[in-house]
Chain A
Amino acid sequence: MNTLPQTVVRPEFEASDLDAANHGDVARRLTAYERLSNMDSVRKFSILILFIAAWEIYTRASGVSHFLLPKFSDTAVALFQAIWSEQLLIMVWNSITILVTGYAIGLAIAAVLTTAAITTRFGSDLLSTLTAMLNPLPAIALLPLALLWFGLGSESIVFTLLHSVIWPVALNAHTGFMSVSETQRMVGRNYGLRGMTYVVKLLIPAAFPSILMGLKIGWAFAWRTLIAAELVFGGSISDTAETQSGGLGWFVFSNQMDMQIPHVFAGLFTVILVGIFVENVIFTNIEIKTVRRWGMQTS
C-alpha cells in the first residue's frame, strides 16, 4: 500500500521577514552608460571599432609581416590612394556596368520564360526542366565555354552573368505566380482585368515577395560570379581592351600578384561596400516601398 501517494501536510509558518518581498526601485532612471549601450547602432559600431583596433594593435605588436596581414592604417591609406590616383572608382564603375547589363538582360529573358510558363503547360514544363537542370550549375563553370564562344571580352562575362541571374529569378517568379490564391485571381477577373493588365495589376503585386526573393538571390549569385570571373580572367580581358579597363576583381588579383597586400584589402573593402550598398540601400528600400507597405511582410 505504500506505493500510493501520501498527502503531505506542510507545517504552518509565518514569514517573519516581509522585506524580502520588497520590489526594489522599479522606476530607477537608467544611467547614461546604460542608455547608450541600449542603442543598437552604438553597440554594433563599437564592435566594429573594437575589431579594427584589435587588428591594428595585433599587427603592430606581433610584428607580423605586412605581406601576410597589413596594418589597418596602411589599408585605409591604400584605399584612399587607390581611389584618388589609381582609378579604383573607374574600375568599380566598369564592374557595375557589366553587372547591370547582365542583370537587366537576364531579367528580360526570365520574364519571357516566366510568361511562357504561366500561359501554357508546355512552357511550364520547359521552365521547370531547364531550371532543375541549370540552376545547380555554377555560372562560373560556363566561363571557359563562354571564352571559347565569345572570345576574351565583356561579352563572355555578360553571358555567364545571364546564366547566374535567369534561373533563380525565373524559378522564384514562377513559384510566386503559381501560389497566388484563387480568391485573388477571381477578384481580378471580377474587375474585368484581362491579359497584360491582369498580370501587371494583379499577379505581379500578389507574387511580389517571391519575385523580390528571386531578384535578391539573382543579385547575390551575379555579384559572386562577376568577382570570380574578373579575378580569374579579368586580366586577359583587360589586356585586349585599349583603355585601362578591368574591374574590381581584377584590381584585387593584380595587386595580389604584385604583392601589394594593403591594396588587396582595400579592394576587398570596396567589394564589401558595394555589396552592403546594394543589399541594404537598394533592396531594403524596394522592400519598404512595396512588400512592407502592402503589409505582406513584417520587420
Chain B
Amino acid sequence: MDTLPQLVIRPEFENTDIKDAHTGNIAVELSIVEKIWNINGIRKAVILLGLVITWQIYTVALDVEPLMFPSFLFSLERLLVDLFTGDLIFKIWFSVKVLLIGYSAGMAIAAVLVLWATASRLGSDFIATATAMFNPLPAIAMLPLAMLWFGLGTASLVFVLIHSVLWAVALNTHSGFKNVTETLKMIGENYGLRGVPFVCKVLVPAAFPSILSGMKVGWAFAWRTLIGAELVFGASSGSGGLGWYIFESSQNIETEGVFAGLFMVILIGIVVENVVFRNVELRTVNRWGMQR
C-alpha cells in the first residue's frame, strides 16, 4: 500500500518581512542615452557605421594591399568620381533600361498566358506544364542560346530577362487566381462581370498578394540574371551596363572600382525593394487589409 501517494501537509507560517514585496521605482524616466538607443533607425545606423569604420581601420592599420581589399574611403571616392565625372551614370541607366524592357515584356506575356489559363482548361494545363519545366531552369543558362539566336546585343539580354520574369510571375499569378474563394467569384458573377472585366475587377485584386510576391521574386531573379549576364557579355552592345563596369574594373585589377560597382548594385536593389515595392504594398494589399 505504500505506493499510494501520501498527502503532504506543509507547516503553517507567517511572513514577517513584508517589505520584500516592495515594488521598486516602476515609473523611472529613461536616461537620454537609453531613449536614443531605443530608436530602431539609430541603432541600425550605428551598426552600419561600425561596420564601415571596422573596414576602414582594418585596411589602413594592417596596410592591406589595395589591389586585394581597398579601404572604404578609397572605394567611396572612386564611386563619387565615376558618378559625377565618369560615365557610370550612363552605365546604370543602360542596365535599368534593359531591365525595365525585359521586365515589362515578361509581365505582358505572363498576363496573356494567365488570361488564357483562366479562360480554358487547355491554357491552364499549358501554363502548369511550362512553368514546371522552365521555372527550375536558371535564365542565365539560356544566355548562350540567346546569343546564338539574337546575336550579341540588347535583344539577347531582354530575351533572358523575359525568361527569368515570365515563369515566376505566371506561376504565382495562376496559383493566386486558383485560390480566390468561390464566394468572391460568385459575387463578381452576380454583378454581371464577365471575361476581362471579371479578371481585372475581381480576380486581380483578390489574388494581389500572390501576384505581388510573384513580381518580387521575378524582380529578384531578373536583377541577378541581368548583373550575371552583363558581367560576361555586357560590353557586346557598345556601352555596357553596371555588371560590365564591375567586370571591367576587376579585369583592370581596380578593386576599388569593383566595390564602387557593388555599392551601386546594392543601392539600386534597396531602392527597388524598399521604396518601389514597399509603396506598392502600402497602397494595395496593406490598405485593403489583406496583409499586415
A interface vs B, CB < 8 Å? 40, 43-44, 47-48, 51, 67-68, 121-122, 125-126, 128-129, 132-145, 147-149, 217, 220-221, 223-225, 227-228, 231-232, 249, 252-253, 256, 261, 264-265, 267-268, 271-272, 274-276, 278-280
Separation of A40 and B137 alpha carbons in the complex (Å): 23
Q: Could you say which residues of chain A place their CB within 8 Å of the CB of B262?
A: 137, 141-142, 145
Cβ of B190 within 8 Å of any chain A Cβ, yes or no, is: no
Contact A275 B270 (CB under 8 A): no
User: A264 and B270 in contact (CB under 8 A), knowing A138-B265, A141-B243?
Assistant: no
User: Could you tell me the distance between the alpha carbons of A67 and B148 in the complex, rounded to whole angstroms?
Assistant: 8
Number of inter-chain CB pairs below 8 Å: 155
Q: Which residues of B contact A138 (CB under 8 A)?
A: 223-224, 227-228, 265
Choose among A136, A272, A280 the residue with the greatest number of B CB atoms under 10 Å from its CB: A136
Contact of A125 among B43, B220, B246 (CB under 8 A): B43
Q: Which 3 A-B pairs have the closest CB atoms?
A: A136-B269, A275-B136, A144-B250
Knowing A133-B270, A224-B224, A276-B132 touch, does A141 contact B141 (C-beta < 8 A)? no
Smallest distance from the beta carbon of B128 to chain A beta carbons, Å?
A: 6
**Extra inter-chain contacts (10) besides given A148-B255, A225-B228, CB under 8 Å:** A48-B129, A138-B265, A140-B227, A141-B265, A148-B67, A224-B221, A225-B224, A228-B225, A267-B141, A275-B137
Q: With the chains together, A275 CA to B140 CA distance in Å?
A: 14
Residues of A contacting B227 with CB < 8 Å? 138, 140-141
> B115 on the interface (CB 8 Å rule)?
no
Q: Which residue of A lies closest to B229 (CB)?
A: A228
**Does B261 have its Cβ within 8 Å of any Cβ on chain A?**
yes
B68 within 8 A of A: yes
Q: Is the CB of A148 within 8 A of B68?
A: yes
Q: Which has the most chain B C-beta neighbours within 10 Å: A43, A135, A141?
A: A141
Contact among A48, A128, A261, A271 for B148, CB-based, below 8 A:
A261
B149 contacts A by Cβ under 8 Å:
yes
Q: Which of A44, A125, A143, A268 contacts B137 (CB 8 A)?
A: A268
B138 pairs with A227, CB closer than 8 A: yes
User: Does B247 belong to the interface (CB within 8 Å)?
Assistant: yes
A sample of 15 cross-chain residue pairs with beta-carbon separation below 8 angstroms, ordered by A number, consists of A47-B129, A126-B47, A133-B266, A136-B268, A138-B228, A140-B231, A141-B227, A141-B265, A145-B250, A148-B258, A149-B69, A227-B138, A227-B140, A256-B145, A264-B144
Q: Is A136 a contact of B223 with CB atoms below 8 Å?
A: yes
Complex formed: what's the CA distance from A68 to B273 in Å?
A: 38
Q: Is B31 an interface residue (CB 8 A)?
A: no
Is the beta-carbon distance between B231 and A141 smaller than 8 angstroms?
yes
For window 138-152 of B, CB contacts with A under 8 Å fall at: 138-145, 148-149
The residue in chain B whose Cβ has the minimal distance to the Cβ of A221 is: B224
- Bound: A252/B145 CA distance, A: 10
Q: A44-B125, A140-B231 are in contact. Are A231 and B143 (CB under 8 A)?
A: yes
Neighbouring B residues of A143 by C-beta, 8 Å = 231
Q: By the criterion CB–CB under 8 Å, are B224 and A253 in contact?
A: no
- Total interface residues on B, CB under 8 Å, equals 58
Instruction: Return chain A residues, CB-CB under 8 Å to B149.
Output: 68
Q: How far is the CB of B42 from chain A (nearest CB, A)?
A: 10
Residues of B participating in the A interface, judged by any CB pair closer than 8 Å:
40, 43-44, 47-48, 51, 67-69, 121, 125-126, 128-129, 132-145, 148-149, 217, 220-221, 223-225, 227-228, 231-232, 243, 246-247, 249-250, 253, 255, 258, 261-262, 265-266, 268-270, 272-274
Give bound CA distance, A231 to B138, whole Å: 11
Chain B residues with CB under 8 Å of A144's CB are 231, 246-247, 249-250, 258
**B266: which A residues are within 8 A, CB to CB?**
133-134, 136-137
Residues of chain B contacted by A128 (CB below 8 angstroms): 44
Question: Which residues from B are CB-within-8-Å of A149?
Answer: 68-69
The distance from the CB of A179 to the nearest CB of chain B, in whole angstroms, is 10
Q: Please, which residue of chain A has its CB at the minimum distance from the CB of B268?
A: A136
Alpha-carbon distance A227/B138, docked complex (angstroms)? 7
Using Cβ atoms and an 8 Å threshold, which residues of chain B touch A221?
220, 224
Bound together, the chains give a CA A43 to CA B270 distance in angstroms of 43
Q: A256 to B148, alpha carbons, bound, how many Å?
A: 9
Whether B144 and A231, one on each chain, are in contact in the complex, defined by CB atoms closer than 8 angstroms, is yes
CB pair B138 A271 closer than 8 Å: yes
Contacts of B250 in A (CB 8 A): 144-145, 147-148
Q: How far is the CB of B273 from chain A (nearest CB, A)?
A: 6
Given contacts A225-B224, A276-B132, contact A231 B141 (CB under 8 A): yes
Pick from B40, B125, B274 the residue with the most CB of A within 10 Å. Answer: B125
For B125, list chain A residues within 8 Å (CB).
40, 43-44, 47
**Which B-chain residue is minimally distant from A145 (CB atoms)?**
B258
Give the docked Cα–Cα distance between A1 and B232 (Å).
79
Neighbour of B274 across the interface among A132, A227, A252, A261, CB < 8 A: A132
Known: A44-B125, A47-B129, A256-B148. A224 touches B225 (CB 8 A): yes
Q: Which residues of B contact A129 (CB under 8 A)?
A: 44, 47-48, 51
B232 and A231 form a contact (CB under 8 A):
yes
In angstroms, Cα B220 to Cα A126, docked, is 23
CA distance A52 to B9 in the complex (A): 84
